[in-house]
Chains A and B, each alone.
With several copies, the nearest count.
Chain A
Amino acid sequence: MREITFAQACNEALRHELQRDSSVFMIGEDIAHYGGMFRVTDGLMAEFGEDRIIDTPISESGFLGMALGAALAGKRPVAELMFIDFSLVAMDQILNNIAKTHYMSGGAAKVPLTIVTQGGGYKGAAAQHSQMLEALFLHVPGIKVVTPSTPADAKGLLSASIRDDNPVLFIEHKQLLNLKGHVPEGEHLVPLGSAHVIQPGTDVTVLTYSYTVQLCRNVVQELSSFGVSVELVDLRSLNPLDWDTISQSVTKTHRVLIVHESHKRCGVGVDLAAQIQEQLFDELDAPIGICSAADVPIPFAAGLESEVLPTESRIRKAILEVMGREV
């Protein structure tokens, strides 16, 4: 199979869905004439026209409100938020309106709206351009959250997100956009809510998603040569969550580490840890570990940023800690 980048894989999914369903259209900043800050929408305006690939003013609250209205009027809008950090200027549209409309309408209104955004750190983009804010969207009910880690999953999950009848937040990680991988041509769907066991193992379960999957892969590989057998699970979507895969894995290994890049307090790590101990208390041989960003804003300088975000060495240490081994 040919290799393409994560960004190209997203581009393919968008093109495929735009071709397939005339009710799909895109709206966002610099996505049409320029082709997107990260080239994710490259060439789409040329193919589908300015009517379906729409450049907007710097008005995130405005264009997300429009996307909601368009969805209610029967379209399947895909809105691009250039950085997930900018979601905060549009949070009322996202959490008070887009997320709640289906429920508030007693089911009468459907909101098939995908928000494609880009987030994450490790690039010196500092406190306002490095966040992974998925937890905010998980806390307030009504929006699905999808976090692919490979080009193939990006394509399959983005197509599935656009076809979903609900609001979906699709998060690209800035460190993944140029990552290359094998990606099926043509139609490719990965259902929302299905985790992927990257490597089966018996000693400890590592649950992760998005860019930290790549970091964990390296660590797990390395540890296997020391006889540590890690079951590495890429969650792929955080809402819906693939609870079956999680619980099967925990029931097998009895030890769990959750790795993510966002902050710890009220984040995904504590969310999963609490649910696991609630459901599978007697299965646990050790406290569930969480390896996440420290609870400080993301600093700029390289030496500071790498102190705050998960690194391979901190992940390795955390795995060994969960296993009760000397670090």
Chain B
Amino acid sequence: MESPSAESFLRQMATLQALERELTTLSQSGRLRGSLHLAQGQEAVPAGACAALQPSDYLTATYRGHGYVLAKGCSLDGVLAEILGKATGLACGKGGKMHLFDLSHGLLGTNGIVGAGVGSVVGAALTAKMDRNGRVGLTVFGDGAINQGHVHEAMNMAALYQLPVIFLCENNLYAEMTPLHRSHGNVNLLERASSYGMDAIQVDGNDPFKVYEVVKKAVDLGRSGGGPTFIEALTYRTVGHYQADAGTSYRTLEEIEEWRQNSPIKRLSARIGPDAEKIIDEADELVHEAVERALGSPDPDPATALQGVFA
């Protein structure tokens, strides 16, 4: 697999940016329920990482994972309709933003519990190894999630069984409002991961090419039976943790501004030049139309609420 072009990366990232802009508006106007966790400033990680995956590879992500879901190839219409609680959503409106599933694209779920999706991908990777089908699994989680016991258990087992898993840790310097140095005895995450017996590598998460490159290497290693890899992608959330957090009470405006200047979309646009604007405009339009379609989609039949606990 060749690396996608800069244009292709920008398209992916701009789609995520546009989606989040639309969702913010919908949330502010009360048309979107519940909390909304945005990934602005972090767009390069999903774009770069998912480009290295096949549709049949496995993925789990978090409440902040819609960018991965889209980059993995799931339908924008299905995702949007689910986020808006529509009958046409990926989960018929039952799951919502935090619970996106699409098995046809290897998406085993986004998750509302910090760290909880990590074990699933390890299990799916186990089946890939059993069936020798060459698939890999990627799970994305945050710098905060690494302090959750479940993640530790799952990482050890992936190393133990030498499973084809990529542990992609988005280090955006904060877990909610808590910086790493107030939550980690040792902020060097690579040491922790490699202590389980796997390769661990850090990458500039605001450069989709670099993310692609390290993930691709990890994917190749996994496919060839070489076991798991831990990747720490350094990035920054330039907005609040969720819609009700301005994100400014625990970070300086200078820090935020510096990262905004360094935002992956800015960086890539500069590299692409004048064409970038067109790509971004197209993404905006594409997403806007999808939002209109989703808003116009039918609400789920209330009777379905009481059905479907068991298959």
Interface residues of A (CB under 8 A from B): 25, 29-30, 33-34, 37, 51-52, 54-59, 61-75, 77, 85-86, 88-89, 92-93, 96-97, 101-112, 123-129, 141-142, 144, 165-166, 294-297, 299-308
Query: Which of A55, A85, A110 has the most chain B CB atoms closer than 10 A to its own CB?
Result: A55
Interface hub of A37, A61, A63, A102 (most chain B Cβ within 10 A): A61
Report yes or no: B157 in contact with A66, Cβ–Cβ below 8 A: yes
B interface residues, tally (CB under 8 Å): 76
Residue of A72, A102, A128 touching B120 (CB-CB under 8 A):
A72
| A-chain residues with CB within 8 Å of residue B160 when the two chains form the complex | 57
Q: In the complex, which residue of chain A has the Cβ closest to the Cβ of B112?
A: A128
Q: Cβ of A141: which chain B residues have Cβ within 8 Å of it?
A: 309
For the complex, is B188 an interface residue (Cβ under 8 Å from A)?
no
The reply to whether B154 and A104 contact each other, CB–CB distance below 8 Å, is no
B101 CB contact (under 8 Å) in A37, A65, A104:
A104
A-B contacts, 22 of them at CB < 8 A, read A33-B250, A52-B130, A57-B153, A63-B119, A65-B116, A68-B119, A69-B108, A69-B119, A70-B124, A72-B124, A103-B308, A106-B92, A106-B93, A108-B102, A109-B103, A110-B311, A125-B34, A126-B96, A129-B98, A300-B34, A304-B304, A307-B303
Whether, in the assembled complex, B66 has its beta carbon less than 8 Å from a beta carbon of chain A, the answer is no
Tell me how far the C-beta of B194 lies from the nearest C-beta in chain A, rounded to whole angstroms. Answer: 18
Residues A74 and B127 in contact in the complex (CB < 8 Å), given A56-B183, A58-B115? yes
- Interface presence of B237 (CB below 8 A): no
Most buried by B among A55, A56, A64, A69: A69
Which residues of A lie under 8 Å from residue B99 when comparing CB positions? 104-105, 126-128, 300
Q: Which residue of A lies closest to B83 (CB)?
A: A300
- Name the 3 nearest CB pairs between A and B, nearest first: A65-B119, A124-B33, A300-B96
**A37 CA to B176 CA, complexed, in Å:** 9
Cα-based distance from A34 to B124 in the complex (angstroms) = 25
B52 contacts A by Cβ under 8 Å: no
Max count, chain A CB within 10 A of own CB: residue among B35, B82, B85, B305: B305
Cβ B34 vs Cβ A73 within 8 A:
no
Q: Cβ of A165 and Cβ of B311 under 8 Å apart? A: yes
Chain B residues near A304 (CB-CB < 8 A): 85, 93-94, 300, 302, 304-305
Q: In the docked arrangement, what's the CA distance between A250 and B157, Å?
A: 50
Q: How far is the CB of A12 from the nearest CB of chain B, in Å?
A: 22
- Please determine whether A61 and B91 come into contact, CB atoms closer than 8 angstroms: no
Using Cβ atoms and an 8 Å threshold, which residues of chain B touch A305? 305
Residue from A74, A96, A128 having most chain B Cβ neighbours under 10 A: A128
A104 and B94 in contact (CB under 8 A), knowing A69-B120, A70-B126? yes
A300-B157 in contact (CB<8A):
no
Q: Once the chains are docked, how many angstroms separate the CA of A73 from the CA of B305?
A: 26
User: In the complex, which of the residues B35, B127, B300, B307 contacts A75, with contact meaning CB atoms closer than 8 Å?
Assistant: B127
Cβ of B123: which chain A residues have Cβ within 8 Å of it? 65-73, 77
Considering the chains assembled together, what is the distance between the CA atoms of A34 and B304 in angstroms?
Answer: 40
Measured between alpha carbons, how far is A103 from B304 in the docked complex, in Å? Answer: 10
Query: Told that A57-B183, A96-B112, A142-B310 touch, could you supply 5 new A-B pairs with CB distance under 8 A?
Result: A55-B178, A65-B119, A66-B126, A68-B120, A68-B123
